[in-house]
Amino acid sequence: MTLKLHFLLKMLAFFMLILQTTARPMPNADMMNKLKSIFKVGDGIMVYNTGTSNEALEDDEIVCAERRAGKSYCKEVENYMEATRLDLIDPEQFEKFRAYFTDDMAMPQNIATRMEIDAAEKPSSIKTNVIYPEGVLSEDSSWLLVVQHEQHKQGILVEECETVDSATEENSTLPMENNSKCKQNFNYRKLVVLVNGVMKEEMVKLPSTCECDM
């Protein structure tokens, strides 16, 4: 691999020499900046790729820490307000999807009480809370912007494993064969998303439950 890069570098130097001797214009600044974003030149003649840029990985402009960590949602999308311009959306669109703008925790008291009991029995590696995702992975594996307006929010109850397939904190002192293993489960549900400035319903992937083998 090093020999190939060495050969390519020598060829590049050869062509640059030809350009200079034939009085052809040198590459402009934009071209040179583009090359610098792809290759990095170290000491000597070593040329190596610095890796794939964020532009290639996240060209849909939905960027967040959760996505980079491999999760199916973004709590906060960079430049969310600029990307959605929710302040310009017709109020009738919000009214059309009014049923979606609520929190999952708004539930009958008996169910809420049962959830509190269940939560007390769960390992400390399992966390249950309500999130307001601004970005989410769709059923066809594309990233979408979720409608989260100041007065129209979609609160989603999720249960997540803090550590997948590893010992829980409660069992960390037990022999390895007795340590619990956790598996993250997901489900698909409808949320209101924004596509080309228009609200619509889409099935999206979100964490549902965390199963730990005790």
Residues with Cβ within 8 Å of 190's Cβ and at least 6 positions away in sequence, in order, are 100, 201, 202, 203, 204
Structure tokens at 30: 């934009």
pLDDT of residue 20: 53
Instruction: Report the distance separating Cα 192 and Cα 75, nearest Å.
Output: 15
- CA-CA distance, 16 to 29, in Å (whole number)? 15
Q: Which domains does the chain have, with CATH numbers?
A: 2-49 (no CATH), 59-213 (2.10.90)
pLDDT at 61: 76
Q: Nearest to residue 151, comparing CAs of 85, 75, 94, 192?
A: 94
Residue 105 is predicted with a pLDDT of: 78
* pLDDT per residue as tens, the chain (214 positions): 555 555 666 676 666 655 554 444 444 555 555 545 444 444 443 333 333 334 334 446 798 999 999 999 999 998 999 999 999 999 999 999 999 999 997 655 444 444 554 555 666 689 999 999 999 999 999 999 999 999 999 999 999 998 765 443 444 444 444 456 899 999 999 999 999 889 999 999 999 999 988 6
Are 148 and 91 in contact by the 8 Å Cβ rule? The answer is no
pLDDT of 180 reads 64
pLDDT score, position 114: 47
SS3 string, the chain, reads: CHHHHHHHHHHHHHHHHHHHHCCCCCCCHHHHHHHHHHEEECCCCCEEECCCCHHHHCCCCCCCHHHHCCCCEECCCCCHHHHHCHHHCCHHHHHHCHHHCCECCCCCHHHHHHHHHHHHHCCCCEEEEEECCCEEEECCCCEEEECCECCECCEEEEEEECCCCCCCHHHCCCCHHHCCEEEEEEEEEEEEEEECCEEEEEEEEEEEEEEEEC
Token pair of 164 as six digits: 């997948």
CA–CA gap between residue 126 and residue 161 (Å, rounded): 5
Task: Indicate the Cα dihedral angle 62, 68, 71, 72, nearest 10°.
Answer: 20
Q: How far apart are CA 193 and CA 200, in angstroms?
A: 6
pLDDT of 57: 40
